[in-house]
Amino acid sequence: MRLTQLLPAVTVSLSFLLVPVAGVLLSTIWLDEAFTVTLAIGMALIISGLLFQLNWQRFRSS
């Protein structure tokens, strides 16, 4: 809850998109799930989309 007081709501809501990335990484480490190329591509797309969106917001606000 404190995070929503420190950061804008859009930034906090975008951080929830990292939940699948964390789930894949944790399942690979703890459950010995296979880490495939398609998972890596999907994670890269999610992270690059988040970075693009966060930088776009900073660019528009300045």
The number of helix segments (H) and strand segments (E) in the chain equals 4, 0
Q: What pLDDT, on the 0 to 100 scale, is given for residue 13?
A: 80
**What's the pTM?**
0.71
Residue 5 lies in a domain: no
pLDDT value at 12 more than 90: no
Backbone dihedral region of 36: left (phi > 0), alpha (psi from -120 to 50 degrees) or beta? Answer: beta
Q: Classify residue 35 by its DSSP letter.
A: -
Q: What pLDDT, on the 0 to 100 scale, is given for residue 50?
A: 87
Residue 50 lies in a domain: yes
> What's the number of domains the chain is made of?
1
Residue 29 lies in a domain: yes
Residue 15 corresponds to which tokens in the numbers above?
Answer: 């951080």
Residue 1 lies in a domain: no
Backbone dihedral region of 8: left (phi > 0), alpha (psi from -120 to 50 degrees) or beta? Answer: beta
Answer for the pair 14, 49: CB distance below 8 angstroms, yes or no. no
Domain that holds residue 62: 20-62
Residue 9 lies in a domain: no
Residue 62 lies in a domain: yes
